[in-house]
Amino acid sequence: MSNNQAFLSIKDLVVEYTSDGQIVQAVNGVSFDLQKGRTIGLVGETGAGKTTIAKTIMRILPDRAAHIRGGQVLLDGKDLLTTSEEEMRKVRGDKISMVFQDPMTALNPTMRVGDQIAEVIIHHNDISQAESEKRAGQMLEMVGIPAGRYREYPHQFSGGMKQRVVIAMALACTPDILLADEPTTALDVTIQAQVLDMINDLKQKNNTSMILITHDLGVVAQVCDDVAVIYAGQIVERGSKEQVFDHPHHPYTIGLFGAIPSMNVDEEYLHPIDGLPPDPSNLPKGCPFNPRCPYATDACRKGAIGEVQTPDGHWCRCVNLDQVKEGAIKS
């Protein structure tokens, strides 16, 4: 996942929010690379910092509450965090686009859906209004919506159709990177499969890189090439999909897989992870997972925990890998 050919590189990113006088540590030293044409899945519980990472890349964090305390977001070697707002407006929609989690709030209810797509196209291209409308109609067709519905409003579409419109907006200028923030969460299961297949097809057609934010490891298995497991604003394990799925090492990752029901094993109970995620305004010392970890030792509660390379070559943030592996085998 990390090499000199990375198209997008996130380096030591630190983001904080200020809320009621408290400092909320949302992202704590996140680093990962994304290669051209590949997809990385950011997996973790609600509040882990996944959406904050995506919004930082897009530079759309709330101005007053959010503060980027450190790190770099390098797109083709250029740091987006030091880029002017005028330049970022050229990047958004053209180089990087985002599919937001809730299509209900991502669309303007007072504008026709076709005009919302055309607005993106004309902003980044020196073309006429008529040409932008023609391209917008083509984008609707590309995501499976008849171009004849160009002049309809969002309230005239179902949830799945709204999400298709949002995807059409995001892909209208064939961006190099697509940030998909739980794009199927608000959809029923059958529509989820259709939307994921469509995203995959369009991504492969345009050789688009993608960061997929999700809770669903099944979605990761279907769509992603690489995986980064996030807990309390840190990446605790990262590697290729095969490495992380076949050889999970961090206790949190093992716990996530243990909580998934299996069709091949007759078990009376699942094995949920004990406890709750930590308060981001008061994170525990050492490994943030140590209060919930069955393998925690004194070493886990002292100082920052660095990444170590596992025997199969991916990366994990744990000081007790041998003990964790032995316990996982026994269980």
| 239 inside domain | no
Please give the biggest Cα pair distance in the chain.
Answer: 67
Burial class of residue 68 (count of CB atoms within 10 Å of its CB; 0-12, 13-18, 19+)? middle
pLDDT tens string 165-185: 998 999 888 899 999 998 877
From residue 104, give the alpha-carbon distance in Å to each of 41, 74, 96, 143, 236: 24, 31, 21, 18, 33
* 160 close to 191: Cβ distance less than 8 angstroms: yes
**Residue 220 amino acid letter:** V
Residue 120 domain-assigned (yes or no) = yes
Tell me whether residue 21 is in a domain: no
Backbone angles phi, psi at 199, to 5 degrees: -60, -45
Residue that terminates a domain, selected from 143, 174, 205: 174
- pTM tops 0.75: yes
The predicted pLDDT at position 1 comes to 45
Residue 112 lies in a domain: yes
Distances (CA, A) of 199 to 134, 204, 210: 22, 9, 10
pLDDT of 112-164, one tens digit each? 999 999 999 999 998 999 999 999 999 999 888 999 999 999 999 988 899 88
Q: Could you say which of 174, 202, 219 is where a domain stops?
A: 174
Q: What is the distance between the alpha carbons of residues 260 and 244, in angstroms, rounded to a whole number? A: 15
Cα 267 from Cα 244, distance rounded (Å): 23
Per the domain annotation, does 77 fall within a domain? no
Give the model confidence (pLDDT) of 271-288 as tens digits.
788 889 999 999 999 999
Q: Left if phi > 0, otherwise alpha if psi is -120 to 50, otherwise beta: which for 144? A: left
Residue numbers of the domain that contains 129 = 103-174
Spatial CA neighbour of 41 closest among 232, 213, 202: 213
Calculate the average pLDDT of the chain. Answer: 89
* 121 falls within a domain: yes
Q: Flag whether 18 is in a domain.
A: no
Where is the domain boundary, 174, 202, 223?
174
When pLDDT is cut at 50, 70 and 90, the band that residue 3 belongs to is: very low
Structural domains counted in the chain: 2
53 located within any domain = no
Q: Are 140 and 168 in contact (CB under 8 A)?
A: yes
